[in-house]
Amino acid sequence: MTEDSQQPDSESQRLLDRVSELITSLHQLQNTRLNSQPPTHLSDVSGPSAEETELGNLHTARVHRQVLKSFKL
């Protein structure tokens, strides 16, 4: 944030916007998977797809980067 205002700088806002997009995409993928008809046995429950895992990892990395930037670590 700049000293003159309480608004995040444009780079921070861009990162926050991208994280928001990733969260929305991950939510949609998880919602689709978790709302499907459950299998007859719990051992047959499908795990996250490669795309879901990748989005989760991207989200984690971006949030981590944003936290480091925010605290200048």
The pLDDT tens digits of the residues spanning 9-68 come to: 787 788 888 888 888 998 999 899 888 888 888 888 888 899 999 988 988 888 888 888
Residues 6+ apart with CB under 8 A from 58: 22
Write out the DSSP string of 3-65.
Answer: SS-SSPPHHHHHHHHHHHHHHHHHHHHHHHHHTSPPPSSGGG-----HHHHHHHHHHHHHHHH
Q: Tens digit of pLDDT for each residue in 20-35?
A: 888 899 899 989 988 8
pTM: predicted TM-score of the whole model, two decimal places: 0.61
Residue at 57: amino acid letter: N
pLDDT value of residue 2: 45
Q: Is the pLDDT assigned to residue 1 strictly greater than 70?
A: no
